[in-house]
Amino acid sequence: MSTMSMPSQAIPKDDARPFVEYAFVKGHFAWGYFWFMFAIIGGFLYAGQFLQAYLLPGIEWLSPGRVRMIHTQGVAYGFIANCFLGALYWAVPRLTGQRVTHKYLGYFILYAWNALTLISVVGILFGEAQALEWGENPVWIDPVVLVGLACAAAQFTPALWKTKGKLHYVSIWYFSGALAWTGLVYFMGNFGPEYWAVGTGGAALTGLYIHDLVGLFVTPIGWGLMYYFVPILINKPIWSHKLSLLGFWGLAFFYPLQGIHHFLYSPIPMYAQYGAVVTTIAIEIVVTTVVINFFATLRKREAFMVNSLPVRWFYTGMILYFITCLQCSFQVTLTFQKIIHFTDWVVGHAHLVMFGVFGFWIMGMIEYLWPKVTKAGEWYSNHLSHWSYWLMGIGLIIMFSTLTIAGLVQGYLWRDLAVFEASISASVPFWWARYFSGLMILIGAFITAFNMYKTAEMGRAK
């Protein structure tokens, strides 16, 4: 099994169709990046409200609460989903030796998915939100989203399943698992609390949904792509195939069980809460093996961290992933929950994992693939790419650390029965720091947007 490195299956030569559809990689990346900008502008606006300095006050449809919802919706369904689809259009044919199901299905998914995201955003702004974390898109659009997810599964699963040989590369398991999970998770989370699980039971399902969306959609596709891109970029097979096996099946086994840790000390029966805590700590051990595997792979290739910006984005994300998971195994305990639940600690954690890990990985994939799919060959400016890396990297770390400390301050003030307003006054300096760290990320994002635009222009000129 140790001989099993990257698969290199013969590409059929008797077919004139392009093997990798560059248009979809490019299209999904461009839309994804548009939603990223959209979402972080929303996040930046919303952060101003915490300083009593909201930039667009008194407008009903731009009320901070609504903008907060499109911030997370834009990130999850606009940014991450689009960019992952784009990366899958690149990785899946190369990994499996199979074309994706159909070109027209590809165009349909590209336009329909972004139309769905747009309709959700407009729906939320005009007061049609559903009261469900990460599922605020209006309840009437949920069935259509499920159709969209089924289309995505239909586009990629046949290629994954048709891969030759009995042993498939690890990325293929992750993609295949994620395509099964996402639809199931979405169905349970968006319809359960709304129709068949009232109150406390609904909270149990909401917990599962919040966590599964990260754990069973974003995480497996993210790691699957890392297992694909990292060995190619540093030109070395993954260190241990057996550890990757442990990583995937550990995720499949423990991740779906954890969601209720979002509602510890709630009226949900305690056995379910204990189950969530124990499996959460268990998976931290599993993810540590994945991180070890990747850092062992990097051995004797450390120079890539300096010389290759995509590799640097990937491994920065992995270091932050390790911090996230370490943090997770502590914060999930009942001891930590007493203080940090309901505070900014959790907000810091969410930004660390969604942007610091998966956002950074996506930035690395864009860094690697954008000059290729636009046919420019190279970036308009490598200098600007580096500026973007440092602004976003430092911005994110400031954001994460200030929110984490703010969370502790809030939690202890609440426990010690200070008047509630004291916890707000004490948070204001941290919220200012968060605001400026957000500004750094925003500037970094604008720089890359400009760079992407110029690079695409270069590609068209060629």
Which residues in 194-223 contact another protein (CB under 8 A)?
194-195, 197-206, 208, 210, 216
Site string for another protein, 236-255 (x = CB under 8 A): ---------x--xx--xx--
- Report H helices in 97-212: 103-125, 142-161, 170-191, 199-212
Q: In terms of Cα–Cα distance, which of 311, 289, 290 is closest to 301?
A: 311
Cα distance between residue 286 and residue 2, in whole Å:
20
**Closer by beta carbon to another protein, 19 or else 342:** 342
Contacts with another protein in 69-98 (CB under 8 A)?
Answer: 69
- Least Å distance, CB 403 to another protein, is 11
| Helix (H), strand (E) at residue 43 | helix 22-49
**Closer by beta carbon to another protein, 143 or else 377:** 143
Q: In terms of Cα–Cα distance, which of 135, 137, 110, 108 is closest to 121?
A: 137
- Least Å distance, CB 450 to another protein, is 32
- Least Å distance, CB 98 to another protein, is 11
- 8 Å CB contact between 359 and 303: no
Q: In terms of Cα–Cα distance, which of 144, 155, 30 is closest to 89?
A: 155
One residue of 167, 232, 285, 296 binding another protein per CB under 8 A: 167
Stretch touching another protein by CB under 8 A, among 26-34, 185-193, 360-368, 392-400: 185-193
Q: In terms of Cα–Cα distance, which of 44, 40, 46, 49 is closest to 67?
A: 46
3 binds another protein (CB under 8 A): no
One residue of 94, 107, 154, 157 binding another protein per CB under 8 A: 157
- The set of residues, in sequence order, having a beta carbon less than 8 Å from that of 143 and lying 6+ positions away, is none
Q: In terms of Cα–Cα distance, which of 259, 225, 444, 438 is closest to 351?
A: 438
- Least Å distance, CB 5 to another protein, is 14
Binding residue count for another protein, defined by CB under 8 A = 101
* First vs last C-alpha separation in the chain: 44
Stretch touching another protein by CB under 8 A, among 81-89, 171-179, 298-306, 448-456: 171-179
Site string for another protein, 39-58 (x = CB under 8 A): ----------xxxx-x--xx
C-alpha 23, offset from chain centre:
22
Cα distance between residue 100 and residue 32, in whole Å:
20
Q: Is 370 helix (H, G, I), strand (E, B) or coil?
A: helix
**Closer by beta carbon to another protein, 56 or else 303:** 56
Stretch touching another protein by CB under 8 A, among 20-28, 107-115, 257-265, 325-333: 257-265
140 binds another protein (CB under 8 A): no
- Least Å distance, CB 145 to another protein, is 17
**Closer by beta carbon to another protein, 232 or else 270:** 270
**Closer by beta carbon to another protein, 19 or else 274:** 274
Contacts with another protein in 353-392 (CB under 8 A)?
Answer: none
Residue owning tokens 């989903």: 81
Q: Measured on CA atoms in the order 94, 96, 101, 106, is the torsion positive or negative?
A: negative
One residue of 12, 143, 269, 429 binding another protein per CB under 8 A: 269
Contacts with another protein in 397-416 (CB under 8 A)?
Answer: 411, 414-416
- Least Å distance, CB 445 to another protein, is 23
**Closer by beta carbon to another protein, 267 or else 377:** 267
262 binds another protein (CB under 8 A): yes
- Least Å distance, CB 440 to another protein, is 22
Rg value, the chain, Cα: 22
- Least Å distance, CB 93 to another protein, is 14
Contacts with another protein in 333-352 (CB under 8 A)?
Answer: 337-339, 341-343, 346-347
One residue of 230, 243, 257, 366 binding another protein per CB under 8 A: 257
One residue of 23, 256, 326, 435 binding another protein per CB under 8 A: 256
Strand ranges inside 185-299, DSSP E: none
181 binds another protein (CB under 8 A): yes
Q: What are the phi and psi torsion angles at 138 (to 5°)? A: -55, 145
- The set of residues, in sequence order, having a beta carbon less than 8 Å from that of 97 and lying 6+ positions away, is 7, 9, 10, 11, 163, 164
- The set of residues, in sequence order, having a beta carbon less than 8 Å from that of 387 and lying 6+ positions away, is 444, 447
DSSP collapsed to 3 states, 328-339:
HHHHCCHHHHHH
Cα distance between residue 48 and residue 54, in whole Å:
5
**Closer by beta carbon to another protein, 338 or else 383:** 338
Contacts with another protein in 425-444 (CB under 8 A)?
Answer: 425
